[in-house]
Amino acid sequence: MKYASLLCLLCLLFMANTCKRNKLESELIGKTWLHSYEEDEGDITVYRPNTFDFPPSRGRTGFALEKEGVLKQYDIAPTDGLEEHLGKWTREDKDKIRVQFEGNEQQEQGYLIEVVSLKNDVLKIKKTAADKEE
């Protein structure tokens, strides 16, 4: 009986962790996240959905995670519009996402995103270049 209680507790903890992981993905996937650079804090980069009422800016970078591991990264184009770069994302850990690109020398190695927090449509991340990872 003692082991059955321990097993039930472990199952509950596992299910809670799985729900947290799925919740994070469900909140990230399907939205276009734009850089809210006015809110950055040191090495923490802040993003908000593109539906947010941003102050005027000459352009904002961003990204969108889609199902099946498709990533769209938006960079400022030479004409001040947005330029889309396609890539792939995979879940690395409970709060980490690996981003990879093909055919673009500058972004070929990709990067790692660590989700610091995601509350009330405010996404805070730490971004690490692929060559600086531990």
Tens digit of each residue's pLDDT (9 = 90 or more) over 85-120: 999 999 988 899 999 987 755 555 789 999 999 999
Topology classification of domain 2-132: Lipocalin (2.40.128)
Tens digit of each residue's pLDDT (9 = 90 or more) over 20-36: 446 778 899 999 999 99
CA distance 25 to 62: 17
SS3 content of the chain, % helix, strand, coil (to 5): 30, 45, 30
Q: What is the pTM of this model?
A: 0.77
Are residues 115 and 125 in contact, defined by beta-carbon separation less than 8 angstroms?
yes
What is the residue extent of each domain of the chain? Answer: 2-132
Under the banding of pLDDT at 50, 70 and 90, the label for residue 58 is confident
Under the banding of pLDDT at 50, 70 and 90, the label for residue 51 is very high
